[in-house]
Amino acid sequence: MLALLAGGIGLGAAGPAVPAAAPAGRAAGAGDGTVTVRVVTEVNADGAYDSVLEPGMAGVKVTLTDDAGTVLTSTTGADGTAVFTPAGSALTGAKYRIQVVNPDPDNLAPAVAGLGTGADVIRSNTGFVDVSGGKNVTYTTGFWEPGVYCQENPTLVTCSLAKGDATGKKGLLSFGGDFGNTAPGGTATELTANTEQQAVFGIGVDRTGNKYMGTLVKRHTAYGPAGAVNAIYRYNDTSDTVTTFATLPGALTAHDTSNNLLGDDVIYGKVGREGLGDVDVSGDGRTLYAVNLNDSKLYTVPIQGTGDGVTAGTPASYAVPKPDACVGDWHPYGIGVRGKRVLVGGVCGAESTVTGTAPWGDPAQLSGHVYEFDGGAFKEIFKYALDYPRGCAYRFLGDPSQYRCTKTSTIGEKMSGLWEAWNERVPERESHLFVSAPQPILSNIEIADNGDLVLGMRDRFGDMQGNRTYAYGSTTDLVAGVAAGDVLRACKSGTAYTLESDGSCGALTGAMPGNDEGPGSGEFYDDSTILSDAVHDQNTEGGTVLQPYRKKLWSTVYDPYAAYSQGVRRWGSETGTTAGNLDIESTWNAGNSLFGKGNGLADLELVCDQAPVQIGNRVWYDTDGDGIQDPSEPPIAGVTVTLTPKGGGDPITVTTDENGEYYVGTEQGLKPDTEYDIVFDYSGIDPSGLPGSPTLEELGWTKQNADDDGELDSNVDAAGKTTWTVGPAGYVDHSIDAGIKARPRALLTVVKKDDVTGALLSGAVFDLWRESNGTDGLQTSGTTPDTRVGSACTTGTNGRCVFDDLPLGTYYVRETAVPDGYVLPRNPVSGPYVLTADNAVTGDGRVVTLTNRPDLGLTVLKTDAKTHKPLRGAVFELWNDSNGTTGLQRHGGKKDTRVGDCATSTRGKCYFDDLPPGTYYLVEKDVPEGYVLPRNPVTGPYVLTVKNAGKEPGLVVKIANKRGEPCKGKKC
């Protein structure tokens, strides 16, 4: 990962931006401008490009694509840019799609994006440009490391250590990191008292208010509330309390508490061998790392939950392997975390070289080692020697001169700063009662922006001897230990590291070349303090922290301004020059309860905000309807996007800008680890400027998930909806796109049939109405009726009428006229019919089959059998042959069906209507006065069909009656 950051570290031949090679083929327009793609490392996470803070990223693949799918490919140079010249290349069209490939997906995420088109706006890794008419475009995009995000001016925390079982002393402290150059340089705020956690070193910080502190085995000071165990304590900002978060394996040697721990000899040889070393927290805040000195293992402890509700999961442990040719014991201790990268370091203590005549051993056999920890396995990445020049732990400049340590000190010399093999010797006292026997602990590892390592070295002897406490083995000699830690830089070149030399590291030059106090006789970091009559050439205490991309590095120190004080120094991380100091507190007297010039402070950590989250990107008009964002397809502004948390919560609504882009992030209220329902709504846009000038009714959402990798497709369903889960802090995803297209034009075909025979019917007339008022059912009147579509449609001889060129949607069919001989349905409206791309676009579209029941009639014409004059008052019953038996059956269990009766009018007629096709019988029930009822009053059968009975008067049945009495008069 780091080989791709900040000027292409690890890409030694990166050079300037490389113009994209043009494959042979047809030429683009000669007037096309250039496309410059700038890829940067985002630091601020604000969507704006800061040219000073945010370096270009070398070695990143960039492509430029036209509508035809022709691709130009380039790679960013050392300045992070790739330049494309479409004119003369195979590209056509002047509108192109940019795609930038993430060079390290395991560690890098797309940068938080901003809205707008300026070169100072950081945009999505996929974007679109128009260079027609000679326009030159600079498109800025980038990546970032969410796990190392930190606001510009974070606070820092360390912990002050007190001797014995003193009470009322400072414990965990917080302070700003921009120190002044005059005492005290700043102000520290006390978060806890010393007794709440007591002796700790390693500090890890999550981003939800928790500080984790690992138990330190240090002479002359007590264990914390959990006792002689490898406890990890947790302080929470909200509850303002310290609790035990986890306890790792290993029993600790009990302190000798007699005489207020002034002797405590039982701990002398246990320092660095028991307890916990460094403690750190993963970039995502979900894993705590700790080195257990009892068993030389790295422990990982899941951090479950957030804030004051966190709990420890089940720890896992991994033995840190002893390096090959390690002289003496192996002492892993320090941890380095940057994002997902985890390093573990330690020293080979060369104890086996300690003899009676050389109680300091052979420093040439000391070595430091750094391992990469990945997937449960360790790989050694750096080994370095520790027998380099170091100056003096204390150089007295006053009289008498015989007490002076010489600058080029020798091993074992009184107050020498040279590293010794791990030992338990008792060094000689200097006239001020100072003693020193520096022994290396690799206590902290920082990973710099360019991949270099910053190594914090703690002096073991600073934890073995206190201030004005008994020398080992004595109950009378009060001495003051002087620590002599160090801060080193290891330079990365390719995959290898080398230790700084004479104050330089790779291309960087540090603050103190040629001072005879470091590797190659110089020092990169200025870690000396000069008082009026004395010098400490190595005044650091092994707690270091680096702020990525801000070029700031801090370390715990003693005597930052005046003698007998403790605090923090800040350097320029790439220059080694002191930029300020903080005096936390005086250690002079202080009830003789602090550690003076010994290791009086624990580790040092930044307190960073949670990395922001962001999702979003683009709404576009999918001209060809394929669900893929083609280079020339235009963006759509004015689409509202609403995100609502699953399970309830306040919705967030944003609107797409002129680029069709939208972004929703922490600033708008987006929460990590939360699932959202997302709804896109284009009802407020003006579509007239889109290709073809469609109306809103003619728009719809394009096909969903058409792209395998999800970068170029549309995520929404046919209703403009999708769901999305925002990941943990630092999660950025710009692939949540939505495509709008012109809906396919639909057809609705009405097929009209006879309800009984199934015959196709011509002459039926229909209106079509579109559901448009949001009310169920068809409304054809009132203030907000539905919408009538087109003109009436009449079925032809094939029984069909077609409504075509319809927008997709919901429709109703209303029948307004029926073929001759048929009945209009009591409810002439049918529907709703939902026309979709699946059911109404191809062939006959949505086919709706409707039927009409024939309206048949039967007219009885009653006449005088002789005169043929119409007779009034004859009464008839009509029966339908319904039982399947020939002839009329009016009685019994299987009788036919009586339809009704009628009486003839003065015109001799009576009429039966609304009859379905079938077979009928007439039964004459009564005759006009003076006429005789026939012996067989039943006539029929009469078979009614649309052809013979469909039009009024229907089927006409003539029945004559004879008179029933003698005729009288002249006319007889």
**Per-residue pLDDT reduced to its tens digit, 521-561:** 999 999 999 787 788 999 999 999 999 999 999 999 999 99
Rounded Cα distance, 328 and 305, in Å: 42
The three-state secondary structure class of 47 is coil
User: Same domain, yes or no, for 719 and 797?
Assistant: no
- Fill in the DSSP letter of residue 273: T
The string over 693-706, giving b where at least 16 C-beta atoms fall within 10 Å of a residue's C-beta and e elsewhere, is: ebeeebbbbbbeeb
Rounded CA separation 332/344 (Å): 7
Q: How many domains does the chain have?
A: 5
Q: Give the tokens for residue 729.
A: 């802090």
Q: Are 220 and 194 in contact (CB under 8 A)?
A: no
Which of 562, 523, 513, 567 shows the shortest CA–CA distance to 541? 567
CA 186 – CA 172 distance, rounded (Å): 16
Tokens 């604000």: give the residue: 46
Task: Work out whether the CA dihedral 327, 332, 333, 334 comes out positive or negative.
Answer: positive
Whether residues 142 and 165 share a domain: the answer is no
Give the whole-angstrom CA distance, residue 969 versus residue 870. 21
970 within domain boundaries: no
**Cα 826 to the center of its chain, rounded Å:** 58
Q: Do 649 and 765 lie in a common domain?
A: no
Cα–Cα distance measured from residue 695 to residue 740, given in angstroms and rounded to the nearest whole number: 12
pLDDT of residue 29: 56
Give ∠ CA 211-212-214 in degrees, rounded to 5. Answer: 145
Residue 462 DSSP one-character state: H
Q: What are phi and psi of 699, to 5 degrees?
A: -100, 155
Asked, for residue 971, whether it belongs to a domain, the answer is no
The answer to whether residue 111 sits within a structural domain is yes
Region of 660 (left: φ > 0; alpha: ψ -120 to 50; beta: rest) is: left
Say if residue 42 is in the same domain as residue 93: yes
Domain span at residue 900 reads 856-961
Return all residues near 758 (Cβ < 8 A) that are at least 6 apart.
none
Same domain, 588 and 490: yes
**Cβ-proximal residues to 751 (8 Å cutoff; 6+ apart), any chain:** 760, 795, 799, 800, 847, 848, 849, 850
3-state class (DSSP) for residue 269: helix
Contacts of 401 (CB under 8 A, 6+ apart): none
Residue 276 CA to chain centroid, in angstroms? 35
The Cα-based distances of 266 to 479, 944, 970 in angstroms read 17, 121, 160
Residue 4: phi and psi, rounded to 5, are -105, 0
CA-based nearest residue to 125, from 622, 654, 736, 735: 735
Listed residues 586, 607, 628: the one ending a domain: 607
Asked if residue 487 and residue 585 are part of one domain, the reply reads yes
Cis peptide before 103, with omega less than 30 degrees from 0? Answer: no
What pLDDT score was predicted for residue 969? 53
**Residue positions counted in the chain:** 972
Give yes or no: residues 378 and 287 share one domain.
yes
Q: Which helix (H) or strand (E) holds 290?
A: strand 287-292
967 within a domain of the structure (yes/no): no
Where does a domain end: 737, 757, 776?
737
**Integer angstrom CA distances of residue 324 from 321, 382, 551:** 9, 12, 35
Residues 505 and 639 in one domain: no
pLDDT score for 744: 82
pLDDT recorded at residue 472:
98
Task: Please give the single-letter amino acid code of residue 134.
Answer: G
One domain, residues 626 and 598: no
- For the chain, state the CA radius of gyration: 47
Check: CB of residue 16 under 8 Å from CB of residue 58: no
Rounded CA gap, 173 and 191, in Å?
A: 5
* Residue given tokens 């003839």 in the structure block: 904
pLDDT in the model for residue 195: 96
* Listed residue (470, 566, 683) closest to 161, CA to CA: 566
178 and 215 in a single domain? The answer is yes
70 shares a domain with 172: no
Q: Which residues contact 356 (CB under 8 A, 6 or more apart)?
A: none
Residue 817 neighbours by CB under 8 Å, 6+ apart:
763, 764, 765, 824
d(CA 730, CA 90): 39
Which H or E element spans position 481?
strand 478-481
**Same domain? 824 vs 706:** no
Q: Which CATH number does the domain housing residue 306 bear?
A: 2.120.10.80
Enclosing H/E stretch for 464: helix 461-464
565, 586 in Cβ contact below 8 A? Answer: yes
Whether 202 is covered by a domain: the verdict is yes
The answer to the question of residue 355 being in a domain is: yes
840: which strand partners?
Answer: none
Q: Beta partners for 137?
A: 35
How high is the pLDDT of residue 13? Answer: 32
Ranges of the chain with pLDDT below 70? 1-30, 400-403, 590-591, 965-972
What pLDDT is stored for residue 321 in this prediction? Answer: 98
Rounded Cα distance, 937 and 932, in Å? 10
Query: Kind and range of the H or E element at 579?
Result: strand 578-586
Among 961, 960, 862, 959, residue whose Cα is nearest residue 910: 862
The last residue of a domain, from among 852, 883, 912: 852
Say which DSSP state 34 is in.
-
CATH number at residue 862: 2.60.40.10
C-alpha torsion 560→566→570→574, nearest 10: 90
Place of tokens 């502190």: 213
- 185 in any annotated domain: yes
- Give domain status of residue 234, yes or no: yes
CB 254 within 8 A of CB 266: yes
